Amino acid sequence: MMTKNIRREDMSRAAIVHAILLTYTLVALYPIFLVIINAFKSRKGIFSAPMSLPNAETFSLEGFTKVLARSNFELFFFNSFTVTVVTIVIVLLLASMAAWALSEYKFPGNTWLALYLAVGIMVPIRLGSVSILNLIVELGLINTLTALILVYVAQGLPLAIFILTEFMHQIPKDLKEAARCDGVGEFKIFFAVILPLIRPAVATVAVFTMIPIWNDLWFPLILAPGDGKQTITLGIQQFIGQYVTDWNAVLASLSLAIIPILILYLIFSRQLIRGLTSGAVK
Partner 1 sequence: MSNKVFAKGLAAALAASVALVPLMASAGELVIESWRNDDIDIWNDQIIPAFNKEYPEIKVTFSPTPPTDYNALINAKFAGGTAGDLITCRPFDASLELYKQGNLAPLDDIAGMDNFSDVAKSAWQTDDGSVTFCLPMASVIHGFIYNKEAFEAAGVEVPKTRAEFYAALDKIKEEGSYIPMAMGTADQWEAATMGFQNIGPNYWKGEEGRKALIDGSQKFTDKPYVDTFAELASWASYLPDGYEAISYPDAQNLFSLGRAAVYPAGSWDISLFNSQAEFEFGAFPPPPAEGSDTCYISDHTDIALGLNAKSPNAAEAKVFLEWMTGSEFASLYSNALPGFFSLSNHKVEITDPVANEFVSWRQKCESTIRNSYQILSRGTPNLENELWNISAQVINGTVTPEEAGKAAESGLAKWYAPHQ
Partner 2 sequence: MAHSGPMTDWRKAKLPVFAFLAPATIIYTLFMIYPLIDSIRLSFYTTPSGGEMAFVGFDNYRTILGDPDWSATFWNSFWNNMKFFAVHMLVQNPIGIALAGILSLPQLRFRNTYRTMMIMPTMLSVVIVGFIWQLILSPVWGVGVDILDIFGLKSLFGPWLGKEGSALITLSFISVWQWVGIPLMLIYAALLAIPDDLVDAAIVDGATHFEVFLHIKLPLVLPTVAMVSILTFVGNFNAFDLIYAVKGALAGPNFSTDIMGTLFYRTFFGYQLQLGDPSLGATVASLMFLIILAGVLFYLFAVQRRLARYQL
CB 97, min distance to partner 1, A: 16
Q: Which does 106 bind (CB under 5 to 8 A by kind): partner 1, partner 2, none?
A: partner 2
State yes or no: residue 251 binds partner 1 (CB under 8 A).
no
**Can you tell me which of 61, 85, 86, 154 binds partner 2, judged by CB under 8 A?**
154
Of 30 and 47, CB closest to partner 1: 47
Q: Which stretch binds partner 1 (CB under 8 A): 1-9, 10-18, 143-151, 168-176?
A: 143-151
Q: Is 143 in the site for partner 2 (CB under 8 A)?
A: no
Distances (CA, A) of 249 to 1, 47, 50, 64, 65: 62, 14, 15, 7, 8
225 binds, among partner 2, partner 1, none (CB under 5 to 8 A by kind): partner 1
Phi, psi of 41 (to 5 degrees): -120, 165
What distances in angstroms separate CA 80 from CA 86, 157, 216, one per listed residue?
10, 19, 10
What distance in Å separates the CA atoms of residue 119 and residue 154, rounded to the nearest whole number?
Answer: 12
Does position 117 bind partner 2 by CB under 8 A?
Answer: yes
CB of 105 to partner 2, least distance (A): 4
Structural element, H or E, at residue 190: none
Q: How far apart are CA 251 and CA 246, in angstroms?
A: 9
In the complex, minimum distance from the CB of residue 86 to partner 1, in angstroms, rounded to a whole number = 5
Longest alpha-carbon distance in the chain: 80
Decide which of partner 1, partner 2, none touches 238; Cβ closer than 5 to 8 Å per partner kind.
partner 1
Q: Least Å distance between CB 261 and partner 2?
A: 5
For residues 280 and 203, is the Cβ–Cβ distance under 8 A?
no
Phi, psi dihedral angles at 225 (to 5 degrees): -80, -10
Residue in 35, 142, 154, 171 binding partner 1, rule: CB under 8 A: 142
Q: How many C-beta atoms lie closer than 10 Å to residue 205's C-beta?
A: 27
- Contact with partner 2 (CB under 8 A) among 12, 65, 217, 242: 217
CA gap 231, 75 in Å, rounded: 8
CB neighbour burial string for 170-184, b if at least 16 within 10 angstroms, e if fewer = ebeeeebeebeeeee
Nearer to partner 2, 136 or 229 (CB): 136
Which x/- pattern over 69-98 shows residues binding partner 1 (rule: CB under 8 A)? -x----x--xx--x---x---x--------
| Selected binder of partner 1 within 143, 154, 268, 281 (CB under 8 A) | 143
Which of 123, 175, 178, 192: binder of partner 2 (CB under 8 A)?
Answer: 123
CA dist., res. 40 & res. 30, Å (int): 16
Which of 92, 161, 179, 203 touches partner 2 by CB under 8 A?
161
Which residue in 175, 205, 181 sits closest to 193, CA to CA? 175
**What does the alpha-carbon distance between residue 95 and residue 117 come to, in Å, rounded to a whole number?**
10
Footprint on this chain of partner 1 (rule: CB under 8 A): 47, 70, 75, 78-79, 82, 86, 90, 133, 135-139, 141-146, 149-150, 221-229, 238, 241-245, 247
